[in-house]
Structure formats: structure tokens, C-alpha cells
Amino acid sequence: MMKYRFLIPLLFTCLISSFVEAQDQPDQKPEKTEKASSKSKKDVFTKEMTSNDPMKDISPEIAVVVEYISIDHATANQLLSQHAAEPDGAGKIRDILESMLDEETAELKETVWLRSLSGQRAKTESILESIYPTEYDPAEIPNIVGSIDSSPDGGEGGARTYMTYAGPTAFECRNVGTTLEMDPVLSADNNLIDISLAPEIVEKIGDDYFTREGFEHTSRGIEHMGMPVFYTIKDSTQLTVVPGKYHLLGLHTPHDDPGKRILVLLRADLISFE
């Protein structure tokens, strides 16, 4: 009996400690077994593999088409007056132009199509590089004095002069053809596109000469100093467009027919992977 008397206070102390610990953590749940935990992880992994489509989270790509359509000046002015300020006026103009193309009262001059990701700059070109002189050395008296027959046919009787002809010393290159550069940004809900673009058509329509009229051969060789003449249709703009709808970019006068106008229309489409 004496031995058990010392154990009673120790047992009482253990009971008090257990009670206090239970009060400090009243909502603690029993730990799951290792088997149950492994089963739960397997179910979650299987669910993710079956529900996630690898193409689901890919943003749509943006495809832009730019059209150049030529019609007579009076008709172009009428279309702009009636429909340019309407919410979907460009779409109505495009429908009218489609009928005119079928009736051959309008002419499709060019079509450019380009595809890009949102936020990525893209560019397409269909060009011919035209290299031409921009600076000339002037004519001067040569270091070695001699006479040159300046008669048109190089025969006898022409005036004899001391001279050299102008020679090109610097050159530049101009892209002749069609170019489209754009930078589109798609909104979070895929309902609008903010786009910066600069479609351009460049044509070489002739040359200007500053010594003789035209490209002529003389007894001194080819004697001319000329510069090319380029005609450009270019629209550089930033705008917000609705996917799938037409928008009017600009109106231009062709160099070879002042009685006509060229309408430039834009449509941006979304290419989805769903």
C-alpha cells in the first residue's frame, strides 16, 4: 500500500496534462492513413488528365486581310456619304463592292493576308528591289586633254569638245510591290483587337532625267542623269476592330486614272484551336 501511494499523484498529473492538450486542439482531426492519402492523390491526377485539353488554353491567332478595290470617283463619294459614319458602314460598303465586282463595275487591285499571334509583330512582303543612283559626280575637264567628237553619229564634221559626263557615286534601294506590317493585341474577352498596321503598295511609274530627255546613247557612251519616279499607296494607323467585321482604312487616287478611287478595307478574323 505504501508503494501505490506514490503513484497516485503521478497518475493525476498525467490526466490533467491530457485534458489541457485536448482543450488546446479541439478541432484537430485524426490523420489519414497512408493508403487513403495515396488513393486521393491518384484520383486528382486522373481527373486532371481526363479534363484538361492541351489546346484549351491556347489564345486564338489573328488573321488580317487587306483589300484594295478601285471604283469611279462619284460612286466612291456616294458610298462614303451614305455609309462611312454608320456603325457597320464598312460592311455595307463591302457588300455593295462585292456586287460591283460581280458586275465588273469595280476592280480588285490587290489582296494581302497575314496571320500572327496577339502581341507579336508580323510582316509580309511581295517586292522587287529597285536600286537607283542618288548622287552624281559632275561633268569636268579630264586630266588627260584630248578631243572628243560630239557629232550625233560620231562621224566627221562635229564639234570637238573637252569633257566628261556625270557619273553615279551613291545608290539607294526601294522595295517595289506590296508590304503589310502589323502589331495586333487581342482583348482578354476576345471581343476586340487593338491593331497597329501599315499596308503599302509601291509602283515605279517612270524616270525623271536632268541632262538629256530619256536614256540616250552618244559618242561618249550613255549620257544621262536620272531618278526613278515611285507611286505609293500607304495607310499607317492604329485602331480597335471587331473580329469578323470590315473596317474602312483609307481612300486613294490612282496615278494613272484621276477619275477613280481606290478603297482600302480591313477585316481581322480569329483562328481558334478549340
Q: How confident is the model at residue 222 (pLDDT cuts 50, 70, 90)?
A: low
Range with the lowest mean pLDDT among 48-52, 70-74, 126-130, 139-143? 48-52
Distance CA 260, CA 248 (A): 17
Q: At what angle do helices 89-102 and 73-83 cross, to 10 degrees?
A: 150
List the chain domain ranges: 61-271
pLDDT at 226 exceeding the cut of 90: no
- The string of pLDDT tens digits covering residues 150-199 is 555 545 554 555 566 667 889 999 999 999 999 999 999 999 999 999 99
Instruction: Report whether pLDDT(221) > 50.
Output: no
Is 269's pLDDT higher than 60?
yes
Instruction: Reduce the DSSP state of residue 37 to 3 states and report it.
Output: helix
Rounded Cα–Cα distance for residues 187 and 180 (Å): 22
110 in Cβ contact with 176 (< 8 Å): no
Beta bridge partners, 237, equal 197
- pLDDT attached to residue 12: 59
Question: For 95-107, what is each residue's pLDDT tens digit?
Answer: 999 999 999 999 9
Tens digits of per-residue pLDDT, 28-72? 555 555 554 555 555 554 555 545 555 566 789 999 999 999 999
- What's the sign of the alpha-carbon dihedral 216, 222, 227, 231? positive
CA dihedral 4, 5, 6, 10 (to 10 degrees): 90
Contact, 62 vs 268, CB < 8 A? yes
What distance in Å separates the CA atoms of residue 143 and residue 247, rounded to the nearest whole number? 64
> What per-residue confidence (pLDDT) applies to 52?
59
CA–CA distances in Å: residue 23 to residues 10, 19, 30: 21, 6, 15
> What is the pTM assigned to this prediction?
0.69
Judged by DSSP in three states, 139 sits in coil
Q: Residue type at 254? A: P
What is the residue-averaged pLDDT of the chain? 79
All three cell numbers of 10, joined, read 503521478
pLDDT of residue 14: 60
